[in-house]
Structure 1
């Protein structure tokens, strides 16, 4: 080989080595095509379900890539499209701000998660506790403080007063139903109590604390936390440009309500503002929300597991989302006309948030996170499956009100579990397959609600645990007696209605004499029923409990009058000469009146 050829050959070898050195990229778990694949998935999913969209904004953060999609209308009637300035209500996603605030104070050494919260509350604070065991902030974050929930004063249409957090908490119709740490019962009150502790420890109004320690550091200028958006006039005006819709895309009117316990669900703002919270929780060091890297890491460490399993359930106020990676935590939210979801996988550095102006929406708020994070994959184990029949029965949410008339809703929220084959269960038309004893999964519903865990309880006998709350076993005899009482009450109402109509017509046609006390009792029964229906209508219309008090008092007056009159009729029916048919009517009137009174007393439809 001559010198010239040798130089060319050496140059070629050097070029080849340099190409190998700088052109080679070692394999990694993250591929540049993955965000593109995720974006394609989201696009295809939105296209597939386009007919179900009122208005939607979703953001997926995959490492450093951001997928941002907006679809539909902020106002379908006025054809106002969703854009970057569209304001969405967060609903219970607002609670993420509470838990961030709590951990900020823990980081500063001003709050301890395992200390009795009485140490942080004023001495004259009117507590709702009934058990001697101390409640800690950890209990509040895990929703294991034992409080029930309330369906009154949760949302108010056209409020007449401004809300002070302490007063709302003290006036709440809440009771502590379970000992701390015993049962998981999702609690708006408990979360609001945590927000009030943030106020007491920091010395700042909760709204002021959130603005100073979260909104300002993250430059969130288009988000409000106040019940009337009094803390951000731009948001208040922008909210007026958005309407809310049902799953059938029908306008919900009115669709704006104030939340007295505002920390638990009043936050609203643009999707790009909420994105900043998502990015901060995905950031390696957690700056600017936290100063210590350990804090951001501990947020996503499980603080509660499903009973008798190693499956996470809650991590510092954030709920576990069953997924392929098994490291996803976050929160969903619903208001009167909006639905949202916010989930984070710090291990894979992936975050998903979805905001919609639709009530009780799950196609997107649950479907998109499941699409991105993948379906739950259970770790296989060599165990003998159990006979599923032991879990058959009726169950109702532990968070149900235990006092007051709104506890009647429990009748309609119960679910029946039935055995299907030896190792499967059916509940609410969902089929559940057994993964191992006590652990069941379904593919029929959203991944958020796919996992059910059954366990034995010393007092409650059987407990069904799912994402947000435990469901408690209801004995069949109790279920049948309660429904039987309700059915008899309906028959009593029909009887009174028919009696009044028939007797009135007979009076017109025959001029036959009316027995005033008998006829009056049936009229009184119908007036009471109308009053109960009005209470139900007002409750659904989200009026305050104070407005309901006069109507509930009327029911108490009815009970007194009805029982006195029934006593009088009982005496009369013995002394009067009545035909068999008339006597039967009198006796039925007395019995049905007592049944109506018993229902009012049992379901506490009085004040």
Structure 2
């Protein structure tokens, strides 16, 4: 089909974004990984109903033998029982290691449901799927995608390594620091390439989507995957939940694709997010139309219920392409103004508390209410523990720094200020206690001695 691609904006410095400017496409990568697996199914090298351990025997979970019940289909449909916390820290910490090193991080992971029963988005599923591609094909994942997908589709500006293709230079990414977009080097992860770090362009993604609309045929007639394979990839799957960007609408998850969405008609799509880029791939089979949008900016603070602006922008581009009314975007600046004000007040108030505590050490005096003082120290200590603990309940400190650096700075600064205040207050109380003891001793010495009658 016809591909109409264009670029708008700056790719960094004096470079303009064009249809051939490469971006890291985030989790839109998952559709490529699912396609690679389906090609190997067509070739008789992979069985969707086989256990993942048939291809990756190194996989170990805290659940022991239950890992044998996870099938290849479960990985692609996100029904393995692994949850997002098994994938989030994995993406954040594996960095430039190997896929096997990333999978080794799952040794303490516990399944949250019986394999095949419930949907749960986890990047780990697609790291495992990438390993299956390697084991079944005998090639590195990136080499396979380059040879079997990019090259036959003419995706000449796309790359399946952590480097852009040829002489192409990646568009700068952008992260929000307290509401201000700051240019950054785009995030790339070799170990988790198959889950979220392929590189592509608007024009190349148009060719890729056209192949799906043509039931597996490239523009020159080359068969990329069987028509049955395409129908399996895009067909219905388990119920899935979308984020606030889609107004909480429900969907289903096929294989590397969501089915449904917020556009009010039959759509197959997948968003992709890295800390500094945003992507949306959308197919409308009934219209024979597809839309690919890539933005060199990541999401703002991960606040529950907050519709990320970058995701809303990609959604609105699709609405506009379909001739539908675009949505009013929530004010990111109003949100960040509130966040910045609250952060400033908390930090200023905590710093003021520290400054007020300093005289208790430099000029100690007898304490009037030591019990109240120790209670305040206990409260501050508990506050430090809570601030340190909260990030570990989600993506960990590494993940928080990667995805919300400004929030990580605020939490760390508050914890340090509270810890310093507690330490200074404790030192002051101990010195006050010694001052009390000296005062009592001095008072005893001044008591007059009376002679016996």
Cα RMSD for the two superposed structures: 4.5
Q: Where does residue 293 of structure 2 map in the other structure? A: 354
Are the aligned partners of 1:188 and 1:264 in contact in 2 as well (CA < 8 Å)? yes
TM-score normalised to the size of structure 1? 0.50
Shift of 1:168: 0.9
Unpaired runs of at least 5, structure 1: 1-63, 377-442, 447-490, 544-554, 556-561, 567-575, 578-607
Instruction: Provide Cα deviations, 1:250-308, integer angstroms capped at 9, x if missing partner.
Output: 4324342232412111111322222221121122452435353332333322133579x
Counterpart CA distance in 1 for 2:217 and 2:174 is 34
Q: Secondary structure at the match of 1:333?
A: strand
Are the aligned partners of 1:107 and 1:295 in contact in 2 as well (CA < 8 Å)? yes
Instruction: Provide Cα deviations, 1:160-195, integer angstroms capped at 9, x if missing partner.
Output: xx4211111112474322212333211111111111
Counterpart CA distance in 1 for 2:216 and 2:382 is 64
Q: Where does residue 230 of structure 2 map in the other structure? A: 296
Are 1:314 and 2:244 matched, yes or no? no
Q: Where does residue 305 of structure 2 map in the other structure? A: none
Are 1:66 and 2:6 matched, yes or no? no
Q: Where does residue 261 of structure 1 map in the other structure? A: 192
- Return closer, same or farther for 1:80/1:312 CA change in 2, 3 Å cut-off: closer
Q: Where does residue 126 of structure 1 map in the other structure? A: 60
- The 5 A counterparts of 1:39-118 are 64-75=1-12, 78-118=13-53
Q: Secondary structure at the match of 1:541?
A: helix
Q: Secondary structure at the match of 1:223?
A: coil
Are 1:234 and 2:181 matched, yes or no? no
Q: Where does residue 207 of structure 1 map in the other structure? A: 142
Are the aligned partners of 1:72 and 1:81 in contact in 2 as well (CA < 8 Å)? yes
Are the aligned partners of 1:314 and 1:320 in contact in 2 as well (CA < 8 Å)? yes
Match of residue 542, structure 1, among 382, 398, 402: 402
Q: Where does residue 117 of structure 2 map in the other structure? A: 182
Aligned residue-pair number: 360
Q: Where does residue 445 of structure 2 map in the other structure? A: none
Are the aligned partners of 2:251 and 2:260 in contact in 1 as well (CA < 8 Å)? no
- Return closer, same or farther for 1:130/1:189 CA change in 2, 3 Å cut-off: same
Shift of 1:147: 0.8
TM-score normalised to the size of structure 2? 0.66
Shift of 1:198: 1.4
Match of residue 132, structure 2, among 178, 189, 197: 197
Larger % of strand: which? 1
Counterpart CA distance in 1 for 2:139 and 2:398 is 35
Higher relative contact order (CA 8 A, sep 6+): 2
Are the aligned partners of 1:304 and 1:315 in contact in 2 as well (CA < 8 Å)? yes
Counterpart CA distance in 2 for 1:232 and 1:81 is 18
- Return closer, same or farther for 1:66/1:248 CA change in 2, 3 Å cut-off: farther
Range with bigger deviation, 358-367 or 242-251: 242-251
- Return closer, same or farther for 1:196/1:538 CA change in 2, 3 Å cut-off: closer
Are the aligned partners of 2:253 and 2:259 in contact in 1 as well (CA < 8 Å)? yes
Instruction: Provide Cα deviations, 1:492-536, integer angstroms capped at 9, x if missing partner.
Output: xx99995x7666524544554899xx97x9499669939955996
